[in-house]
Amino acid sequence: MIPAAFAYQRPASLDEALRAIAADPDAKVLAGGHSLLPLLKLRLARADALIDIGRLKELKGLRYAADGSASVGALTTYAELASATRLDFVREGLLMAADVQVRNRATVGGAVAHADPASDLPALLIALDASIVVRSSREERVIPATDFFLGPFETAVRPSELVIELRRPALPAGAGGAYRKLAQPASGFALVGVCAVVARTGGRIGHARVALTGVSDSAYRATAVEEALVGTDGSSGAIAAAAAEATVNRTVNHDIHADREYRKAMAEVYTRRAIEAALARAT
């Protein structure tokens, strides 16, 4: 289908883009376009104006600091980040997303701003204790990933703001990570996706961050799983008991792809698998 008519701007710099957004907060921002353009073509969304930021080189690239922390520009594609990251489990998670054509064009900033409740990247960011940097023409804010995803396709970004960067701290010493996913076969979206980052201290689990996507109305941190896991020896029984907490205090999705009971059961299964795989990588 053909979208409704819209005005089009292609800013030459980030400052110019922010001024354009401030002048028209109702305009839609176009990055990779893999989420927005299908909605416009199907007329599920409408834009009086598009602000195309896709060629702003200042919003591209992955940068590491001496302490092991990292930041990635919002216009970095999935494929570019998968190629550049030093974290194997992040690479694996990114390469599970969609297909090669989408990964070559879709941007990480566009993905988090779109906030699809079945997207893989939000779970990775939450488990990494990452933050999303947003900027307007007046100020810059740094929002923890745990506070960023508010609901289906809803985030903490204000109308005048633009996602410009994703940041994560260094992982704890010896930490291992894993992402495990039950994918919808046709789309590749997560029916259940689980990211776990764990570290041992003196033979016991001293650090655990676990996040799920595809299960509820937005990606979330599974604090009950973490609390049940920390302090244990990481045995199969301890992992199973912790994984059983994966959907505590969460409304589990029910749709044409998976009913509530099946998705809840799979959340437990894939949480266990993610923790086991992360522990196998911990040193």
CATH assignment of the domain containing 66: 3.30.465.10
Number of folded domains in the chain?
3
Question: Dihedral through CA 81, CA 87, CA 88, CA 91, nearest 10?
Answer: -20
Q: Which of 110, 142, 168 is the last residue of a domain?
A: 168
pLDDT number for residue 45: 87
Q: Is residue 1 part of a domain?
A: no
State the Cα–Cα distance between residues 1 and 158, nearest whole angstrom.
Answer: 30
**Residue range 70-80: average pLDDT?**
98
Q: Is residue 73 part of a domain?
A: yes
The answer to whether residues 162 and 195 belong to one domain is no
Q: Which of 180, 110, 184, 114 is nearest to 149 (CA)?
A: 114
Mode of pairing for the β-strands spanning 190-201 and 154-155? unpaired
Q: What is the CA radius of gyration of the chain?
A: 19
Let me know: does 198 contact 232? Beta carbons within 8 Å: no
Give the pair of three-digit tokens for residue 210.
């676990």
pLDDT confidence band for 169 (50 / 70 / 90): very high
pLDDT number for residue 44: 86
The answer to whether residues 211 and 113 belong to one domain is no
The answer to whether residues 189 and 252 belong to one domain is yes
Share of the chain above pLDDT 70, in %: 100
Share of the chain above pLDDT 90, in %: 91
**Residue range 3-15: average pLDDT?**
95
pLDDT number for residue 2: 86
State the Cα–Cα distance between residues 147 and 122, nearest whole angstrom.
Answer: 11
The answer to whether residues 260 and 217 belong to one domain is yes
The answer to whether residues 164 and 135 belong to one domain is yes
State the Cα–Cα distance between residues 64 and 67, nearest whole angstrom.
Answer: 8
Q: Is residue 259 part of a domain?
A: yes
Q: Please give the helix or strand (H or E) that residue 183 lies within, else none.
A: strand 176-183
pLDDT number for residue 7: 94
pLDDT at 34 exceeding the cut of 90: no
Q: Which of 99, 106, 112 is nearest to 54 (CA)?
A: 106
The answer to whether residues 48 and 61 belong to one domain is no
> DSSP letters along 216-229, please?
SSS-EE-HHHHHHH
Mean pLDDT of the chain, nearest integer: 96
- Cβ partners under 8 Å of residue 149, min gap 6: 112, 115, 122, 126, 155, 218, 219, 220
The answer to whether residues 185 and 257 belong to one domain is yes
Task: Render pLDDT for 109-143 as a digit per residue (tens, 0 to 9).
Answer: 999 999 999 999 999 999 999 999 999 999 999 99
**CATH number of residue 268's parent domain:** 3.30.390.50
Q: Is residue 253 part of a domain?
A: yes
Task: Render pLDDT for 213-240 as a digit per residue (tens, 0 to 9).
Answer: 999 999 999 999 999 999 999 999 999 9
Q: Which of 280, 274, 276 is nearest to 96 (CA)?
A: 274
The answer to whether residues 164 and 61 belong to one domain is yes
Provide the 10 A C-beta neighbour count for residue 184. Answer: 16
pLDDT at 1 exceeding the cut of 80: no
Q: Is residue 153 part of a domain?
A: yes
The answer to whether residues 68 and 147 belong to one domain is yes
pLDDT at 26 exceeding the cut of 90: no
The answer to whether residues 42 and 69 belong to one domain is no
**Structural domain for 17, as ranges:** 7-52
**Residue range 192-206: average pLDDT?**
97
The answer to whether residues 204 and 248 belong to one domain is yes
Let me know: does 168 contact 128? Beta carbons within 8 Å: yes
Q: Which of 133, 168, 203 is the last residue of a domain?
A: 168
The answer to whether residues 28 and 61 belong to one domain is no
pLDDT number for residue 25: 85
Q: Is residue 2 part of a domain?
A: no
